[in-house]
Amino acid sequence: MKAFPKIDMAEVTRLTRAGQLSEAMALLQGQSVPPASDVVAGETIDMVAPAFHGGAWTAPAAGPTATDHAAHSAGQASARPGLAETIRALRERFPKMGDMPDFGKGMPDIGGGTRSSRGARVEVPAGARFEERSFANAAGSRTYKVYVPSGYEGQALPVVIMLHGCTQNPDDFALGTGMNALAEEQTFIVAYPGQPQSANMQKCWNWFNAGDQQRGSGEPSLISGIALEVVREFSADPNRVYAAGLSAGGAAAAIMAATYPDVFAAVGVHSGLPCGAATDMPGAFAAMNGGGTVKARKDGPGIPTIVFHGDADKTVKPINGEQVFALAMPNAALSQAVNQGESAKGMAFTRTVRADDAGRPMLEHWALHGAGHAWSGGSRDGSYTDPRGPDASREMVRFFMMHTKIPS
């Protein structure tokens, strides 16, 4: 029998769960792992490999670039291993899963179909459905999952499109945001388009590509197509369709507001960026760091928008949320009110509301004090959540349900 070096499987499992796949592979291969300060994640366009602090996912401190790290690691493979590769190595090392106590608990699901990226299962109450569909048009195809509440009996329900962030999947986003539970409570339909790795290695929506910021092409046409397909399949209300997203998904939601105001009655942007913040990869990093300059669009009045953004977000700087808020309805004559509060779990926030003549909020901006890059009030069953904050999902649904698109 082949002898293997002694391996600290608890540490391998911890590193894999944390997304530090290169370090997990190094341990499996009998190599030493550099100190945490020397471990640098590969560059991504959105959510970089995070560290978990106090219930919120935040970006690590700035460090050497991926190129610097590759030079530092001369002699090792230049590409970071994927999750599937790491798990295959574990299975080769331990053919019987029983040799790896508790390995499966909390691990991401490679297929991304029934589990969140943190391993939890989405529970579906009796009478409800959470099913996978596929949509295709000239721009390509995307799978999506749709939650149909148990109270659905063919009536014309509202539809909320939920756009996940980088590295996430529909199940993960459903668990983290708790949107299915709200849909069950308030009787509306939720759809979760999924971004595949074939479209972006980190499964980010490509908000920074000029071709994915245009009506009638790219990802906006796919997302709007999914929304309209859900309306058709379930005879939903075409005047009560909404979109919300986190980070790259939040930026995609802002793009949907700009490109398809005839489809969406309102949008929610959490830790995202305004449409047009970048048109290429270098511009994306500049925008995330607060260097983007965006002009107000002149091709429409804009639509109602609610924004959530942590003022300690180091991944997508808070100025981006402020820009989304400022540019959403630039020509509307609205009154403004500002109030401060604190969530039940102790997170302070400042809420700015701009309302129409009837007092109906048309724009809302929630500045979350001390929050990082995470969905406010979310569940730890999903990734990139901060349970301490006000419930962004519930507040978005409240805001959405006040708005109905005027039929054209």
For residue 74, the model assigns a pLDDT of 33
Is position 288 within any domain? yes
Same domain, 164 and 290: yes
CB atoms within 10 A of CB 293: 9
Residue ending a domain, choose from 99, 121, 152: 99
Query: Which of 99, 117, 152 finishes a domain?
Result: 99
Q: Which of 78, 99, 120 is the endpoint of a domain?
A: 99
- Contact partners, residue 102, CB within 8 Å, separation at least 6: 13
Q: What are the angstrom distances between the C-alpha of 72 and each of 76, 81, 185, 300, 338?
A: 9, 17, 53, 50, 50
Q: Which one-letter amino acid corresponds to residue 314?
A: K
DSSP state of 210: G
Where the chain has pLDDT below 50, the residues are: 1-4, 35-84, 87-88, 91, 94-114
Please give the pLDDT value at position 95: 45
Q: What is the pLDDT of residue 47?
A: 44
State whether 369 and 227 are in the same domain.
yes
Confidence at residue 18, expressed as pLDDT on a 0 to 100 scale: 52
Q: Is residue 19 part of a domain?
A: yes
- Alpha helices, H only, 156-217: 170-177, 179-186
Judge if 156 and 51 occupy the same domain: no
Closest CA to 158 of 84, 220, 238, 66: 238
Give the separation between CA 397 and CA 162, rounded to whole angstroms: 12
Q: Are residues 65 and 166 in the same domain?
A: no
Which residues, 6 or more positions from 374, have their beta carbon under 8 angstroms from its beta carbon? 56, 57, 58, 271, 310, 384, 385, 386, 389
Alpha helices in 94-178 (DSSP H): 170-177
pLDDT at 290: 87
What are the distances in angstroms from CA 317 to CA 62, 244, 376? 14, 19, 16
Say whether both 82 and 171 belong to one domain: no
- Cα–Cα distance, 322 to 307 (Å, whole number): 8
Shared-domain flag, residues 43 and 158: no
Encoding tokens for residue 220?
Answer: 């906006």
Q: Which domain holds residue 78?
A: 9-99
Residue 117 lies in a domain: no
Residue 408 located in a structural domain = no
Report how far apart, in Å, the C-alpha atoms of 398 and of each of 71, 115, 258, 329, 385 are: 51, 28, 22, 19, 20
Matching residue, tokens 């595949």? 196
d(CA 123, CA 201) in angstroms, rounded, equals 28
**173 and 275 part of one domain:** yes
Q: Are residues 22 and 90 in the same domain?
A: yes
Residues 176 and 223 both lie in one domain: yes
Return the pLDDT at 294. 76
Q: How far apart are CA 396 and CA 392, in angstroms?
A: 6
Q: What span, in angstroms and rounded, lies between the C-alpha atoms of 307 and 351?
A: 10
For residue 123, being part of any structural domain is answered with: no
Q: Whole-prediction pTM value?
A: 0.75
Is 115 within the bounds of a domain? no
Q: Per the structure, how many domains does the chain have? A: 2
Check which CATH number belongs to the domain holding 207 and give it. 3.40.50.1820
User: Do 150 and 86 share a structural domain?
Assistant: no
Within a domain: 262? yes
Token pair, residue 367, equals: 């500045």
Distance CA 308, CA 313 (A): 11
Task: Give the DSSP H or E segment for 159.
Answer: strand 159-163
In this prediction, residue 243 carries a pLDDT of 98
pLDDT of residue 330: 86
Alpha helices for 73-217 (secondary structure H): 83-93, 170-177, 179-186
Backbone dihedral region for residue 234 (phi beyond 0: left; psi -120 to 50: alpha; all else: beta): alpha
**219 & 259 share domain:** yes
Q: Per-residue b/e over 229-245, b at no fewer than 16 CB within 10 Å?
A: bbbeebebbbebbbbbb
* Residue 107 resides in a domain: no
Helix (H, G, I), strand (E, B) or coil at 391: coil
With contact defined as beta carbons under 8 Å apart, do 396 and 306 qualify?
Answer: yes
Q: State whether 73 and 161 are in the same domain.
A: no
